[in-house]
Structure 1
Amino acid sequence: MNAPLILMLIWFGVASIGAMLPTKDHHWKLAYWLIGTGIPLWIWFVMENGIGFGLLVLLGAASVLRWPLRYLGRWVLRVTGLRRDDA
């Protein structure tokens, strides 16, 4: 196993354990940390293992960080004018 794979597995382990812990901020601090460390780690993983395996890891990371991605999608739609917040 190469170093990026081991670090990605540790990243997923931290995300899983962190999700089980109760927090007052609904895990947003952990989500920011996971995003900040996950993006460079994912880029390194893709450079070492290829885009095919990188897409699988990206899907796994997206399932872990699904709520921040939903909020990002809503924000993009609101900013671009494709969705209004009237309803």
Structure 2
Amino acid sequence: MTLSLVAACLWAVVASLIALGPRRFHWPAAWGLIALGVPIVGWVTWENGPVLGLIVLAGGVSVLRWPVRRLFARIGAGER
């Protein structure tokens, strides 16, 4: 297992632990997870190829589904 996949697994563990915490920390933590997750996805894609990169991206989106939903809602509201 490459170092980038280890980093992605650690990111997922940290995200799960944050989800267990108090609700008031979820949004600030989500921004931190996004800031760390984007470079990790790029690193995984660079070292392991686009298939594993897409798998890690899908895992990150499943963990951070509320920020993604709000982004799509804002994009949809801006078109009207």
Normalising by structure 1, what TM-score?
0.87
Q: Tell me, which stretches of 5 or more residues in structure 1 are unaligned?
A: 82-87
**Relative contact order (alpha carbons < 8 A, sep ≥ 6): 1 or 2 greater?**
2
CA distance in 2, matches of 1:66, 1:52: 21
Does 2:67 align with 1:68?
yes
Deviation at 1:24, TM superposition (A): 2.1
CA distance in 2, matches of 1:58, 1:44: 11
In structure 2, what residue type is equivalent to 1:55?
Answer: L
Q: 1:10 maps to what in 2?
A: 10
Q: How many residues align?
A: 80
CA distance in 1, matches of 2:71, 2:24: 21
SS in 1 for 2:55: helix
Deviation at 1:50, TM superposition (A): 0.5
Q: 1:48 maps to what in 2?
A: 47
Does 2:37 align with 1:38?
yes
